[in-house]
Chain A
């Protein structure tokens, strides 16, 4: 079975650049708009993360909260998220989609149901913000059985021993949170500090793909190009908010940003 996430990493490695991951919220600002945004930014992004919004997020900052509330207000349901993925995958099958969200929405949908829908719609990976290791072991195994990558998270507070265990249980991709922060804050640690922590993890198992996220913008992305991959979320959500405010075309504005991000690391 082809593993599109691995394939994407191989491609970016060949091009000697980090892989670019974007994060947008499904249904922001409408179901149709979020699909259009996804289609447009996937011209530049290597992997698209798609958030399924929750109204009680305990790890998201203002920008992503605003996007999430907008999407929920517009009536986004878990089933709509799968529909968006399915529509996206019709003509972009090889661009990996990683769903990201909070466990309660998966739990209410039913773990197995959720994963079966993921499979049907073409989801390639899953990040669950509030299902840490080792609580996530069973769920991660269910993902693996369906050839879906369960993305483990590691943070600056994770001890070395714990990181070793998490990496051992991880699939193709690991997400390193750059700093102590909710999403969307300014980068409050230096790129060299992030590099130091990143290298420690990379050395534990150099074969795995490590992406860095939180606090990455057009300003900071270049300094972090040592990573296998870089995630940009809040900067994109913020642009959607801005476009709505000034009645501009969110699709073109957001695409311009993502194009620029790609250029900066190419």
Chain B
């Protein structure tokens, strides 16, 4: 099992769609084989089609807003007193998070396929919000599946989804969070795949969904590598890229162009959700005890019990509250190309406080997990180490949680 330097990671799978012979694949009901095959054919054709690429780039530039900023966090760097701390402000993107890339591409594909309907899952509500935005833009009717617990805790995004004319379908099964939303969305697709396109909200699900999502979010690192070379003249000798990992779409997109570098030069650090400090229901399959198993059509590290029932998880951040993780990250972990760790709810909240105290930046609870680990590790590093954190979501959606946990003046410094 080795990484190929010249091939995108999303394409380094075998004929069964497995990375490293172990992760990914298509563990789906027979009914979905055909729509998945159709999508594979369509995507492989369009990703090499100049007209399609030009269209994508046009939307990314004019509508999503490319490139998002790459900024130095001077005050925070001075306060920490170690490595230089930078951020890629992906939350600049239209809608406020990286989920816009995958949503736009899925809608473009659905349009090409002649579909009139699109459905998607969401946890934090960003994947749903962005899909509803893109669906509206491209004239598709849209349904979003969302756990009942998440509908309550991510209200602002629910309001946005409805404003865009999409229907929000509450899911009451299981823990009523992202894992249940994805299951319900897939079940809906099984019953409606003849008329309806499905967008999986992260680099999870059957192989083709991992690929399309990773291909879409890679926009982040295509921008970043140019911005880094522009600021530093070349890739710095010591570069560390921190990103939160739920399903793994923003982290894969953030790292994609850098995977081929030696890890002693460019280190990739993924931060999962540890959950409340006293809880054992971590949403962190790459960090805490998980086993390889099937979830949502793919082999991956997944939090599950002895016999294979999927665990309930718990995290303050709805976007990271998922028991599985992308096969791409499972592969990167096994290859030791990326390092994975977790931050607790409390550590994420503290990081949020610190970042907003010193900088004009409001990372949502998901990237606050990445900041927690990055700021902690930056302390002990030299000034010529460049730490970059992907601030992949805006905290507006978390205002109720932040108010409840940090007091009503939680953002007074902003």
Asked if A187 is at the interface (CB within 8 A of a chain B CB), the reply is no
Contacts of B304 in A (CB 8 A): 104, 108
A106 to chain B, nearest CB (A): 8
Contacts A59-B190, A104-B295, A135-B16; A129 near B29 (Cβ below 8 A): yes
A54, A129, A185: the one contacting B309 at CB < 8 Å is A54
**Residue A157 contacts which of B27, B194, B293 (CB distance < 8 angstroms)?**
B194
A142 to chain B, nearest CB (A): 17
Which of A36-44, A118-126, A175-183 is the interface stretch? Answer: A175-183
B30 engages A132 (CB within 8 Å): yes
* A:65-94 near B, CB below 8 Å: 65, 69, 72, 77-78
Residue from B27, B179, B295, B306 within 8 A of A135 (CB atoms): B27
- Of B192, B294, B296, which is in contact with the most chain A CB atoms at under 10 Å from its CB? B294
| In the complex, A130 has a CB within 8 A of chain B | yes
What mask results when residues 242 to 267 of chain B are scored 1 for a CB within 8 Å of chain A, else 0? 00000000000000000000000000
Q: Is B222 an interface residue (CB 8 A)?
A: no
Question: Would B28 and A130 count as touching, CB distance under 8 A?
Answer: yes
Q: Once the chains are docked, how many angstroms separate the CA of A155 from the CA of B36?
A: 14
Contact in complex: B173, A158 (CB < 8 Å): no
| A58 near B29: Cβ-Cβ < 8 Å | yes
Q: Are A56 and B179 in contact (CB under 8 A)?
A: yes
> Nearest chain A CB to B293's CB is how many angstroms away?
5
Q: Given the complex, which residues of A lie within 8 Å of B186, measured CB to CB?
A: 58
Query: What CA separation (Å) do A103 and B297 show in the bound complex?
Result: 10
Given A135-B16, A158-B34, residue A56 in contact with residue B307 (CB < 8 A): no
Q: How many whole Å from A102's CB to the nearest CB in chain B?
A: 7
Kindly state whether residue B161 has any CB partner on chain A within 8 Å: no
Q: How far is the CA of A65 from the CA of B183 in the complex (A)?
A: 12
From A55, A105, A185, B174 is in contact (CB under 8 Å) with: A55
Q: Which of the residues B29, B173, B291, B307 comes within 8 Å of A59, measured between beta carbons?
A: B29
Q: In which size bucket is the chain B interface?
A: 35 or more
The yes or no answer to A153 lying at the interface (CB within 8 A) is yes
Residues of B within 8 A of A109 (CB): 307-308
Output the least CB separation between B121 and chain A (Å). Answer: 12
B393 at the interface (CB under 8 A from A): no
Interface flag for B193 (CB, 8 Å): yes
Tell me if A131 is interfacial: C-beta within 8 Å of chain B. yes
Task: Give the docked Cα–Cα distance between A107 and B293 (Å).
Answer: 7
Known contacts being A107-B308, A135-B27, A158-B34, is A59 close to B192, with CB within 8 Å? no
Closest-CB distance, A214 to chain B (whole angstroms): 10
Expressed in whole angstroms, the minimum distance between the Cβ of A81 and any Cβ of chain B is 10
* Interface: A159 (CB within 8 A): yes
- CB of A55 within 8 A of CB of B310, answer yes
Q: Which of B32, B34, B187, B293 has the most CB of A within 10 A?
A: B187
Q: Once the chains bind, are B295 and A154 in contact (CB under 8 Å)?
A: no
- A224 CB to closest chain B CB (Å) equals 19
Bound: A244/B46 CA distance, A = 53
Enumerate A156-195 residues with CB–CB distance to B below 8 Å: 156-159, 162, 177, 180-182, 185
Q: Let me know if B192 and A180 touch, CB within 8 A.
A: yes
By CB atoms of chain B within 10 A, which of A133, A159, A180 has the most?
A180
Determine whether the beta carbon of B35 is less than 8 Å from that of A157: yes
B82 at the interface (CB under 8 A from A): no
Given the contacts A58-B190, A102-B294, A108-B304, A154 and B174 also touching, CB distance less than 8 Å: no
The reply on B31 being an interface residue by CB < 8 A is yes
B226 at the interface (CB under 8 A from A): no
Verify if B25 is at the interface (C-beta below 8 Å from A): yes
Residues of B within 8 A of A129 (CB): 29
B191 in the interface, Cβ–Cβ < 8 Å? yes
B183 interface neighbour in A56, A108, A132, A185, Cβ under 8 Å:
A56
Contacts of A185 in B (CB 8 A): 191
In B29-73, the 8 Å CB interface with A consists of 29-35
On chain B, the residues within 8 Å of A131 by CB distance are 27
Chain B: which residue is nearest A175 at the CB level?
B30
A-B pairs, top 6 by smallest CB distance, nearest first, are A108-B308, A157-B34, A155-B31, A104-B294, A59-B29, A104-B308
